[in-house]
């Protein structure tokens, strides 16, 4: 599974890696409150209030990122997250596609997180920018015939 945590039981914090460009805010909601809202006779229009939130740093926060190049492939932000929060959030959001597809994942140690990121460094997320030198359907002006 993309969200499996190796040896996280003894750790108080985990290193969560986020390959999304701008990061992500993880909100943890009270399940009883959500059930009460869903079972309410009249619709509750106010958004639910999270009991805890964590902001994950994105790929643009990686030390190797440079805005001029805007190259995101193989980069990710690393954030220290409480292990209990992460496990509860994963249990509450098992079908979340960035989690299932490995765009966010957690490891018990920072070195393990870096190793896992290196393994998937060549995998595209679909959120990388286009290469300005190889735009599809665009011919450079100096190469135009005539």
pLDDT tens-digit map of 102-133: 999 999 999 998 999 889 888 888 777 777 77
pLDDT band at 64; cut points 50, 70, 90: confident
Domain span at residue 112?
A: 13-126
Percentage above 90 pLDDT, the chain = 52
Number of domains observed in the structure of the chain: 1
Kindly report the pTM of this predicted structure: 0.75
Instruction: Report if residue 40 sits inside a domain.
Output: yes
Instruction: Report if residue 106 sits inside a domain.
Output: yes
Nearest to 116 by CA among 26, 25, 6: 6
Task: Report the alpha-carbon angle 52-25-33, nearest 5.
Answer: 40
Instruction: Report if residue 46 sits inside a domain.
Output: yes
Instruction: Report if residue 7 sits inside a domain.
Output: no
Segment 27-32 shows an average pLDDT of 94
Residue 48, pLDDT > 70, answer yes
Question: Which 8-state DSSP code applies to residue 32?
Answer: H
Instruction: Report if residue 6 sits inside a domain.
Output: no
Instruction: Report helix, strand or coil for 137.
Output: coil
Instruction: Report if residue 2 sits inside a domain.
Output: no
Instruction: Report if residue 103 sits inside a domain.
Output: yes
């Amino acid at each position: 599974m993309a969200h499996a945590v190796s040896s996280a039981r003894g750790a108080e914090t985990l290193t969560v890696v986020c390959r999304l460009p701008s990061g992500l805010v993880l909100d943890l909601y009270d399940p009883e409150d959500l059930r009460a809202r869903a079972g309410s006779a009249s619709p509750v229009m106010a958004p639910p209030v999270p009991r805890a939130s964590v902001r994950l740093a994105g790929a643009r926060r990686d030390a190797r990122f440079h805005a001029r190049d805007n190259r995101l492939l193989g980069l990710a932000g690393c954030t220290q997250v409480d292990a209990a929060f992460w496990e509860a959030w994963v249990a509450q959001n098992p079908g979340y596609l960035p989690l299932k597809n490995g765009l966010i994942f957690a490891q018990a140690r920072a070195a393990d997180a870096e190793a896992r990121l290196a393994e998937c460094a060549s995998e595209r997320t679909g959120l990388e920018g286009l290469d300005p030198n190889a735009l599809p359907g665009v011919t450079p002006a100096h190469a135009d015939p005539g």
